[in-house]
Amino acid sequence: MRRTLPAATTALLLALTACTATGSADAPSPSPAGVPNASRQDASQAERTMASLRRVDDLPLYEMTYVGAYDPTVGTDAAPPSPFGCSLFVAAGDPARPLFARNFDWDANPALVLRTDPPDGYAAISLVDISYLGVGADPTGDRRLLDAPLLPFDGMNERGLAVGLAADDAATARAEPGKPTVGSVRILRLVLDGAATVDEAVAVFRRHNLDFDGGPALHYLVADATGASAVIEFVDGELRVERGTGGWQALTNVPVAGVPEQRRREDRRYGQIAAALTEADGVLDATAAHRVLASVRQGHTRWSVTYGLRSGEVRLITATGGGERRYRLSMS
């Protein structure tokens, strides 16, 4: 549940540094004796977090509930894998049932469904590629998992704000003096912890420089419980925001900001998503959304997930083909 940020925490956020997702700028020295960088838990909270870990399919996919506080501004010591692609969309034609959907297309790494409820931010469910933490296929007892809140690849918070990322080879970000720098995946945690609306999410991006050095350049899709959405891109070093119109918005690995819709549809995956959402007038339930995601799956799609931005329902299918897993986030 969201609490008011204390002055000390606000000051710390303003001193933000870069994260793992962007290579050497995100890689401080490992903590001594295996102590996690991010955890601000007491011993009991850390043990309860680790005890909640369980394997739920053969991706392998794990689930974990993070108990207590973490510092979202510290670094981790893992390097990012190479990008292959992703497909995301928002279906908001029915204002009562807006939905965020995504395929995560990446290396064959283990994944984690993570629940967080920080004392100074919103509760959230997110998905983490735990290889970024240096964690292998069997993370049992690996306390580097206590850094997992730092690296959400997509997720939704209790206010119905969802965010996801995709590789964008054309993106270039230029640092502005006076702004703190944050890594290209870490920014998602700051959004999930602190933004309730698309406008607030955009403001989080605008308050920070993004560092793409050493990792894939990215662009982002955000949406909220009102059905509002936006693509956030970096064009010639400048942050650009492309707002959703017409009841839906999609994102793959081609630029969106300032690009005519017909040209966007020349990308096969974008074109298939756009055609399906246009035909449906942007009205899709989770079952129909997963059919669209299935139509654009690739050989390296690791998971497909939908987030109900009002219902709090999360439906997840992994590359194992082992069926759908459902989660529920209590919405505030």
Helix segments in 170-267, DSSP class H: 186-194, 198-206, 261-264
pLDDT at 10: 32
Mean pLDDT within 18-27: 30
Q: Is the peptide bond before 60 cis (omega within 30 degrees of 0)?
A: yes
**Can you tell me which residue has the tokens 């992703």?**
86
Residues 87 and 75: their CA atoms lie apart, in Å, by 28
Residues 163 and 200: their CA atoms lie apart, in Å, by 12
Quick: pLDDT tens for 186-242.
999 999 999 999 999 999 999 999 988 867 899 999 999 999 999 999 999 999 999
| Between 301 and 213, the higher pLDDT residue | 301
| Between 265 and 216, the higher pLDDT residue | 265
- 59 phi, psi to nearest 5 deg: -50, -50
Q: How far is CA 144 from the centre of its chain?
A: 19
Helix 268-279 crosses helix 286-295 at what angle (to 10 degrees)? 150
| pTM across the whole model | 0.88
Residues 55 and 69: their CA atoms lie apart, in Å, by 23
Quick: pLDDT tens for 76-119.
544 444 455 799 999 999 999 999 999 999 889 999 999 999 99
DSSP three-state, residue 237 = strand
Degrees, nearest 5: CA angle 155-300-305: 25
Q: In what side-by-side order are the strands of the sheet with 229-235?
A: 54-57, 61-65, 111-116, 124-129, 154-157, 162-167, 218-223, 229-235, 238-243
Which of 115, 136, 109 minimizes the C-alpha distance to 49? 115
Residues 137 and 59: their CA atoms lie apart, in Å, by 9
pLDDT at 76: 56
How large a percentage of the chain has pLDDT more than 90? 80
Query: If you average pLDDT over every residue of the chain, what do you get?
Result: 88
Mean pLDDT within 11-24: 29
Residues 202 and 249: their CA atoms lie apart, in Å, by 16
Give the pLDDT band of residue 2 (cuts 50, 70, 90). Answer: low
- Bridge partners, residue 304, by sequence: 103, 317
Could you tell me the domains of the chain? 7-328 (3.60.60.10)
**Hey, what are 310's tokens?**
């009002």
Residues 216 and 84: their CA atoms lie apart, in Å, by 10
